Structure 1
Amino acid sequence: MAFPIWKGLVRTTPTVAPIAHRALLSITGSQSTEFLNGLLATSVNGSPRHRYSAFLHAQGRVMYDTFLYTTAGGYILEYDAKALEHSPEVTPLLSYLKRHVLRSKVKIRPVTEEYDVWSSWGSSQDHEWETPRHWHFEQSGSIEPIWPEDGLWPWGSTECVIHDRRGVGMGRRLLARKGDPPPVAATHDLAGIDEYLLHRLTKGVPEGAKDIIPMQAFPMESNLDVMGAIDFRKGCYVGQELTVRTYHTGAIRKRILPIAIELANPQAQSSPLSFPTNIDIKPSAIDIKPAGPRPRGSGKLLSTHNGLGLALLRLEHVAGWEKGILRLEFENDGVKWKVSPWRPEWWPQQPVEEIST
């Protein structure tokens, strides 16, 4: 069920908006496919295809989430240009890739000054390719999308256009020549950068270093499994060992979820526009004498806009909030705010028979 605060905020008309702070690298050469397959967390083999994926650190933490566009001459890799601002210890992606080229027949060059990245949603062409979602649930809490084997490639095949399958209703991701709007601007409303942010917040989709903090975030806690960025059955790639071990024998205790943000004290004078990231979201028992131990740990505030946001939350805290026995709050500039998480309409629902077995 959609959270009530959505009403009046979400655009329902065909919309196209630029996506800020994205960098692009061109990767070409006869061995570019094999090169990327050894580094990305999804399989890159056979004929070149669009996909969403991630680069992981050797210890299993996320460095970059990325879109991979196929072109006539190879690939274009899209990633967050401001990753270093959120995590100075992360290796710049261009340097990281060049370190692994060795003698491979691969050429890498920046093309950020040649293209802009856009998102379009709301029209039939932005969702007519959607298919019903099916999921595989692992005992660890990992969740994988199951794409139809006899259908079209889920991420699309048109050059410079990706079907954004990270969440239902996300629309399409587009590359357009620098300074020029994409062709769909003729049929879509042209919106600002904040409209795209609000769009993905309502869909519960984390993106970039502000939400998936480099060298800190784990892939499943950041929903990369749900969004189709991890292949748990491919061969060796950087970060694979810990990721697959967690998938089979670990336990996912945190997830990024969308949240509504309201004043804890309705009489206080303040407006929830946006907040710094990484603020602690702390749980507290509503009952004065709660049964059981006090809740442990805290969550982290991520992207926010207009009273909506994303947060990395402990699932036990979310369960306590849903049962009405915990409140979730954070403090900013001396003002307390309450947090109300929810699961997007498209979020995987495990069949009852699978839960009971």
Structure 2
Amino acid sequence: MAANATGYAVLERRGVVAVAGEDRAAFLQGLVSNDVTQVREDRAAYALFLTPQGKFLHDFLLIESGGALLLDPEMERRADLLRRLKMYKLRSKIALEDRADSLRVVVAFGAGALAALGLPEEAGAVRPFGGGVAVTDPRLSALGARLYLPADGLAALDAVGLERREVADYDRLRLSLGVPDGGADMVPEKAIPLENRLDALNAISWSKGCYMGQELTARTKYRALIKKKLFPVTLDGPLPAPGAVVTMGDKEVGEIRSGLDNQALALLRLADLEDAAAPLTVGETRLTWQTPEWDAAGAA
């Protein structure tokens, strides 16, 4: 199905973790990359949990709902996030809860999806929906909405005329826009946020105080240390496996990340793109790269 399909899909690769208690905002403020004080019941954010060296560990949306901050880490890695949060709990008045069994993460996307949910196109807007909440994706409104719904909440999506789709339909949209998805595109403990354009996806506050990995993230930005960036690529040939080496002639210039059909993401060296003397290839497959429209400032 085309990247412009409209509907909703259950995003089973994401789960929900709740941080409740009176210190919840202050606790997360010292750990994650975005400004938690700006998260309200009508305003969500996208944030990162980094290593002290500023490398990627987890990404998630942050939503205030029912007296708790909800995070949606990758389902298979949520136990790791909970473990790391518990390490820093100390005397903070918070309670950590795994809600993956009680809340589903759902994406709604395509033309008319936001309007059907009563959401504006303003990234990060939140409203109640279907016994849970619906959020205009705070990374990029073109991605549509993310919803956190109880088990019976899917009926509300059917009621507003949205048709159930496969997650692959959402991924076609995501890949066409050049948006990375957690560990599928960013290797934990190795990936650098700015190489993956996460600053342009509203993941980082440059004005808040210290957080885990803040010093090195700021240094990377202000000293212009980025040598690679993530690009959406169109494929002419078989889909390469994640991690496959991208070459220009006999020179290695990058790696493939996630992909589907004739689209993929690739981490490419900027200097090689500026002086491209030969086509980019992975085996028999030729790649055509482009800069995402939403990150014109980060063009190669």
Structure 1 range deviating more: 115-124 or 101-110: 115-124
2:19 & 2:149 partners in 1: Cα distance? Answer: 18
Percent identical: 27
Which residue of structure 1 lines up, in the alignment, with residue 36 of structure 2?
A: 44
- Structure holding more helix per residue: 2
Matches within 5 A, 1:202-281: 202-263=176-237, 272=238, 274-281=239-246
Query: In structure 2, which of residues 40, 47, 53 is the aligned counterpart of residue 53 of structure 1?
Result: 47
2:271 & 2:39 partners in 1: Cα distance? Answer: 43
- Give the Å deviation of 1:47: 6.0
Using the size of structure 1 for normalisation, the TM-score is 0.75
Task: Name stretches of at least 5 consecutive residues in structure 1 with no aligned partner.
Answer: 1-7, 85-90, 132-153, 264-271, 286-294, 352-357
- Give the Å deviation of 1:257: 1.0
- Give the Å deviation of 1:19: 1.5
- Matched residue of 1:113: which SS? coil
- Which has the higher Rg, Structure 1 or Structure 2? 1
Task: Name stretches of at least 5 consecutive residues in structure 2 with no aligned partner.
Answer: none
Is 1:341 the equivalent of 2:296?
A: no
Matches within 5 A, 1:135-214: 154-159=123-128, 160-178=133-151, 180-181=153-154, 183-186=156-159, 187-214=161-188
Which residue of structure 2 lines up, in the alignment, with residue 282 of structure 1?
A: 247
Matches within 5 A, 1:53-92: 53-83=47-77, 92=80
2:242 & 2:39 partners in 1: Cα distance? Answer: 40
Structure 1 range deviating more: 94-103 or 122-131: 122-131
Is 1:309 the equivalent of 2:283?
A: no
Which residue of structure 2 lines up, in the alignment, with residue 117 of structure 1?
A: 105
C-alpha distance 319-130 of structure 1, shift in aligned 2 (>3 A):
farther
Matches within 5 A, 1:120-131: 120-124=108-112, 126=114, 129-130=120-121
2:282 & 2:169 partners in 1: Cα distance? Answer: 25
Contact conserved, 2:105 with 2:148, CA < 8 A, in 1? yes
- The letter for the 1-side match of 2:15 is A
Contact conserved, 1:201 with 1:309, CA < 8 A, in 2? yes
Is 1:327 the equivalent of 2:300?
A: no
Matches within 5 A, 1:84-103: 92-103=80-91
Contact conserved, 1:167 with 1:203, CA < 8 A, in 2? no
2:182 & 2:191 partners in 1: Cα distance? Answer: 11
Which residue of structure 2 lines up, in the alignment, with residue 143 of structure 1?
A: none
Deviation per residue, 1:293-347 (Å, 9 max, x gap): xx6x5211111111111111112233344xxx2211113xxxx211111123433
- Alignment RMSD, CA only? 2.3
Q: How many residues end up aligned between the 2 structures?
A: 289
Which residue of structure 1 lines up, in the alignment, with residue 3 of structure 2?
A: 10
Contact conserved, 2:243 with 2:257, CA < 8 A, in 1? yes
